A and B are shown apart, each in its own frame.
Chain A
């Protein structure tokens, strides 16, 4: 099958994630420019927004429904930036990202967790931020707590929890829905060995039983090779290779 430029309507039926020629530019100069005085001095000297940094440079990718898609690359190559754009957290400077379905972003877990509140309160708060309705959280509350194995400490403020336990709750809340698209960014390394296994099983269940589309980032090239069907290799923000996971991983391994 050749690859004609299909129109959007056609694409929407075939693909869960469509990233079209996306570029993300960060202003390096803006990083340390946080006072009015500095701003005006720079403005007068015309040094404003001088240095640009291309975190992601014209990357396109298409992920089919039910596909498990890996992203590989070294540190600082733009993987996380790309993921954040897919998750809708970052808006690309150029290009477009189209998503069809509900996303469960396991990028950074525990959004909005408040250390002063109890685990119970945090489950509702975090759930609301992930877009769950109150009824939905209520209906699946037991399921979340069961998965996190936290029944004994539900009404304890989160600040008294260990980081591993916090991560457990976060993971449990994030994966209680059956998402159409799951974005995984090395979150599998939370909790102890047993919990990690549990997390991997949950993700596998989503892939196998519910045909969830997965976008997967990991430093462990073996994990990508094992789990993914297709993959993209990004280097310094640019796409180096795209295609079958085995081929891409092999090429990536040989480059080092």
Chain B
């Protein structure tokens, strides 16, 4: 009698079906939704009350490129053989800024999420990843600027005017995947370390500055003393940027060796970052 009344009652009120996460796929879907919500939040915050809004993501790299190319090609007189310096610049600079921004934002991601992880149960790996995803979405807009600059110069030393239609552009997603894996690893590692040692915040900003100058972003590799040049191959950012420049600037399909080097660097960084993060994450809540 009473149970019948109960079911009638619940039927009438039609309670919302509570979401259940039994399978791996549904858990992944849940995490993905949180991830995209966080990225959406960051975007809304970034461009709230700005007139141009997301257009800034396109405009910014172009403006930076103009400043840098004026400084380095007119003041320092760096020249590249047969390729436009501005395109050389914007390629290095946009790729490098993915790493620089995602790592310095990822660094703070667990600290930022502190009030959150104290309140709800949520997979912590989402927070550093959200910063990387944010940078890549942002890069999607910046890439419009890169394409615009490439079209402006519409440049290919070998073929002349066939650059944008060429087949080797298909390798671009590959290098972006390598870079994403690399940045995620960095983000995991730095966010975990920052929870325990706030010094990392200060150290990392200096380190990124050093890295910026140690990578041929606005100078050609050839300006370095010959004895330093071989060491450059240990710089992952140099590898990723060279890969991208080979495709767009020189119209080459990157070699298998280049692919393997980039992938190995990315996976190694990811493995270290992920392991440190996984080991440390259960203690986060006590330190943030």
Q: Residues of A at under 8 Å CB distance from B?
A: 26-27, 30, 34-37, 39, 84, 87-91, 102-103, 105, 107-112, 114, 116-117, 121, 124-125, 128-134, 136, 139-140, 143, 176-180, 209-210
Pick the contact of A133 from B9, B19, B118, B197 — CB < 8 Å? B19
The residue on B at minimum CB distance from A37 is B199
Does A177 contact B18, Cβ atoms closer than 8 Å?
yes
B224 to chain A, nearest CB (A): 32
Closest approach, in angstroms, between the C-beta of B50 and any C-beta of chain A? 13
* Cβ of B120 under 8 Å from chain A: yes
Q: Are B119 and A111 in contact (CB under 8 A)?
A: yes
Residues of B contacting A180 with CB < 8 Å? 18
**Cβ of B44 under 8 Å from chain A:** yes
Known A-B contacts: A109-B119, A136-B16. Give 10 more (CB < 8 A).
A84-B118, A102-B18, A108-B118, A111-B115, A111-B119, A116-B45, A121-B41, A129-B120, A130-B120, A210-B10
**Nearest opposing residue in chain B for A108, CB measure:** B119
Q: Can you give 25 contacting A-B residue pairs, CB < 8 Å?
A: A34-B196, A35-B198, A88-B121, A91-B285, A102-B20, A105-B120, A108-B118, A109-B119, A110-B119, A116-B45, A117-B41, A117-B45, A121-B44, A125-B37, A125-B38, A125-B40, A128-B33, A128-B34, A128-B37, A133-B29, A134-B33, A136-B16, A179-B18, A180-B18, A209-B9
Q: Which of A89, A107, A121 contacts B285 (CB 8 A)?
A: A89
Residues of A close to B122: CB separation below 8 A = 129
| Identity of the chain B residue whose Cβ is nearest the Cβ of A103 in the assembled complex | B121
- Are B34's CB and A102's CB within 8 A? no
| With known contacts A116-B48, A132-B19, A179-B18, A26–B286 Cβ distance under 8 A | yes
With an 8 A cutoff between CB atoms, is B233 at the interface?
Answer: no
Q: Out of B40, B41, B287, which one reaches A30, CB within 8 Å?
A: B287
| Chain A residue at minimum C-beta to C-beta distance from B27 | A131
Considering only CB atoms, which chain B residue lies closest to A176 in the complex? B16
* A27 in contact with B286 (CB, 8 Å): yes
Measured in the bound complex, the distance between the Cα atoms of B200 and A39 in whole Å is 13
Bound together, the chains give a CA A102 to CA B26 distance in angstroms of: 14
The CA-CA distance from A256 to B154 in the complex, in Å, is 84
Instruction: Give the total number of A-B pairs whose CB atoms are below 8 A apart.
Output: 103
Query: Are B121 and A87 in touch, CB under 8 angstroms?
Result: yes
Query: Given the complex of chains A and B, what is the CA–CA distance between A133 and B118 in angstroms?
Result: 21
Residues of B within 8 A of A140 (CB): 16
B19 touches A107 (CB 8 A): no
Q: Is the CB of B197 within 8 A of A102?
A: no
In the complex, what distance in Å separates the CA atom of A35 from the CA atom of B21? 39
B119–A178 CB distance below 8 A: no
Q: Contact at B121–A34, with CB atoms within 8 Å? A: no
Find chain B residues with CB under 8 A from A133 CB.
19, 29-30, 33
CA distance A110 to B118 in the complex (A): 11
Inter-chain contacts of B21 with A (CB < 8 A): 131
Q: Note all chain A residues with C-beta closer than 8 A to B198.
A: 34-35
Indicate if the CB atoms of B16 and A117 lie closer than 8 Å: no
Write out, one digit per residue, whether chain B residues 100-127 have a CB within 8 A of any chain A CB (1) or not (0).
Answer: 0000000000000001111111100000
Taking a contact as CB atoms closer than 8 A, the residue among A30, A105, A209 that contacts B286 in the complex is A30
Q: Ordered nearest first, which 9 A-B pairs have the shortest CB separation?
A: A88-B121, A111-B119, A128-B37, A178-B15, A177-B18, A111-B120, A108-B119, A36-B199, A91-B282
Chain A residue with Cβ nearest B121: A88
Specify the chain A residue showing the minimal Cβ separation from B284: A91
Least CB separation from A133: chain B residue: B19
B20 surroundings in chain A (CB, below 8 A): 102
Q: In the complex, what distance in Å separates the CA atom of A134 from the CA atom of B37?
A: 10
Taking the closest CB of chain A, its distance from the CB of B31, in whole angstroms, is 10
Distance in angstroms between the alpha carbons of A63 and B282 in the assembled complex: 26
**Complex CA–CA separation, A131 to B198 (angstroms):** 30
Q: Which residue of B lies closest to A118 (CB)?
A: B44
**CB distance B48 to A35 under 8 Å?**
no
Are A129 and B282 in contact, with the CB atoms below 8 A?
Answer: no
